[in-house]
Amino acid sequence: MNRSSPNVHELLYASHSAGVLPITSECNLGCVFCSNRFNPPGVEAVSLPARGVDELRDSLDQLAGATRIVLGESATRICEGEPLTHPAFERILCMVRDRYPDIPLRVTTNGTLLTEALARRLSSLGDIEVTVSLNSTSAAVRRALMRDDDPARVLDGIRRLHDWGVRFHGSVVVLPHGPGAEDALETVRFLGSHGARTCRLLVPGYTRCVSSPEFSVPRTAVERLARCASEWTTMPVTVEPPIPRDLSATIDGVIAGSPAQRAGLRRGDRILAVDGARPESKVHAFEAIYCGGEPVIEVERRAGGRAQRFGVKLDKRPREAPGIVMEHDVDVSRVREAVMSAARMWSAPVFISSGLGIRAVRVAMASLGGMGGEWSTSRLFQARNSFFGGNIGCAGLLTVSDVSQVLEGLKRRGIVFDAVVIPGEFLDRRGRDITGRPYTDIESSHGVSAHIA
């Protein structure tokens, strides 16, 4: 796609507005599990060369209002790359910090270019955290699956982060190759022993464009790995993508040295109230604690078959990270607003959710109580990610055609509807999906109103 195309500028603006600063789509590795390699034909993805420093400086105003600024991830259809490959990365980082001295900075990297000088610079930039996509400490695995011709350098980079006191997290894509589970556990051990604050075990995602089953790893196997790792490390180890079984605000882990640890909170504690208000979900509980200054938390802790209730006060400033790690579930207020709006405007709406989100949305709807909860759950249907296929199940990768397939199926079953409520995650600022198709095609194709939740 032409770099001067208005669509690229629109995507960049959307990224900046979300607090993400894309600087390059280039990468120095060739991971066999890279999501950018397996997009089906028709995906409107954009790859950027290294952006110029002057262009990036002119973009900084668009980051105003961000609660944090992220480099190395994607918020739109721009393919994320390895930010440290940018020849002016350190200069860019300092430029962002000079413009926004108090906003937290977040960098996601594969870690292979973390030099001593860069680690030292990172340590001087105030509130900054690095996420290292380590994936494996095995030289053989890294050469075979990540095309890393110098496997030792990432391990040295992580040691440098630790030595310079740079806060960092790790992530591991769990693949059924080589040593398998043992390799993943050894990678988690390395991260924990070198000061990583958390570690995410990622269930590998793959599309219909993957012809072999090499990426097929049961989620249950990854969950077992996380439980095993949690038995011998205090570092929080979580599984992504999350599929919450309920909306209980149970703590999955506590970061060492954080306000939560200093207050005595532990993995498995359940948050009953924050400043006297009962949380509706994990998302609600975390936001209340994160936004609050010295929040008072009522906690339930179960041990030896008995439940103990007590209160703690976290010594933290408003919007300071509390150090609590919880699985992401659902914003119940968003679900409530969608249900109430649909009930006011239409007589027979239906609600669409992704495969990964439908359980949490259904529980959230049921929690609304009364006829609203019962009525909405009976009108909730799952859209499968048929366009991407494979094991993709997230809302952000749904398409208009996926939603249309659901509606066609409802018609065949004789289910009457006059509107459809769809998640906004898969639409851009113009209301188009990742293939460029507008959601209004749903209205014209099916003769119903479409509402974005």
CATH topology agreement for domains 6-240 and 332-452: no
Whether 350 contacts 377, CB under 8 Å = no
pLDDT of residue 207: 87
CA angle at residue 146 from 128 to 49, to 5 degrees? 60
d(CA 419, CA 422): 10
**Is the CA virtual torsion 57, 427, 360, 80 positive or negative?**
negative
d(CA 164, CA 244): 36
Q: Which fold, 253-325?
A: Pdz3 Domain (2.30.42)
d(CA 367, CA 375): 12
State pTM to two decimals.
Answer: 0.91
pLDDT of residue 213: 56
Write out the chain in H/E/C secondary structure: CCCCCHHHHHHHHHHHHCCECCCCCCCCCCCCCCHHHHCCCCCCCECCCCCCHHHHHHHHHHHCCCCCEEECCCCCCECCCCHHHCCCHHHHHHHHHHHCCCCCEEEEECCCCCCHHHHHHHHCCCCEEEEEECCCCCHHHHHHHHCCCCCHHHHHHHHHHHHCCCEEEEEEECCCCCCCHHHHHHHHHHHHHCCCCCEEEECCCCCCCCCCHHHCCCHHHHHHHHHHHHCCCCCCEEEECCCCCCCCCECCEECCCCHHHHCCCCCCCEEEEECCECCCCHHHHHHHHHHCCCCEEEEEEEECCEEEEEEEECCCCCCCCCCEECCCCCCHHHHHHHHHHHHHHCCCEEEEECCCCHHHHHHHHHHCCHHHHHHHHHCEEECCCCCCCCCCCCHHHCCHHHHHHHHHHHHHCCCCCCEEEECHHHCCCCCECCCCCECHHHHHHHCCEEEEC
Q: Which fold, 332-452?
A: Rossmann fold (3.40.50)
- pLDDT tens for residues 172-201? 999 865 567 889 999 999 999 999 999 999
What are the extents of the domains in the chain? 6-240, 253-325, 332-452
Residue ranges in the chain modelled with pLDDT below 70: 1-6, 176-179, 211-215, 371
What does each C-alpha distance from 186 to 76, 237, 270, 330, 363 come to in angstroms? 33, 13, 30, 32, 36
CATH superfamily of domain region 6-240: Aldolase class I (3.20.20.70)
- pLDDT tens for residues 233-242? 999 999 999 8
Whether 155 contacts 112, CB under 8 Å = no
Cβ-count burial of 217 within 10 angstroms (0-12 exposed, 13-18 middle, 19+ buried)? buried
- Other beta carbons less than 10 A from residue 429's beta carbon: 11
Whether 200 contacts 169, CB under 8 Å = yes
Tokens of 352: 């669409």
pLDDT of residue 36: 78
One-letter amino acid at 206 equals Y
pLDDT of residue 5: 43
